[in-house]
Amino acid sequence: MKTKNLENFQKLVSNEQSAWLDKFLYYKANKSWLDKSAMVAVNVLEALKAKGWSQKDLAQKMKVSAQQVNKILKGQQNLTFETICKLETALEISLMEIIDYKQVAEIKTSATQIKSASTTLKEEFIVVSVNKDTSTTKIPQMKVVHNKMDYSESHNQYAIAR
């Protein structure tokens, strides 16, 4: 038994360098499109399941090879617009949305502009927290409301500066 385990271990051990660092660096450099490609793969797999199709069925509808579909479903294929359109047409789903271009002046917002203060809130809070023990310190009156929670209580005044 001990000899068999040793033989199995020796089969696993190699004098060749591992390529894991190269794979990691590739993933780190390409993380953005790899993540999006994985999301497409998940959506395509769900659509295949809903339609009861195989990868071969999808390949025939798209007029591509089964190997191409397999690469797409692994989430490691840098997809072109052409391939995405073929997927959307074959599966009758939407995989991406292109937002129309608009001039900045045409974009309507409901936000109101806040006038800038002479010092930032962070600077004010740091000054207040340093001098909070002196009796002459004036703590700025400020009410901060976020997600319908009032943060103006005395115990919360210094939380924003952290």
Tell me which residue has tokens 């295949």. Answer: 48
* Angstrom distance (rounded) from CA 26 to CA 20: 10
* Angle (deg, nearest 10), helices 66-74 and 55-62: 110
pLDDT tens-digit profile, the chain (162 residues): 678 888 888 878 777 787 888 989 999 999 999 999 999 999 999 999 999 999 999 999 999 999 999 999 999 889 999 999 999 999 999 998 888 777 777 777 665 555 554 444 544 444 444 444 555 545 555 554 444 444 444 444 444 443
Of the CA atoms within 13 Å of residue 158, those in its CB half-sphere come to 9
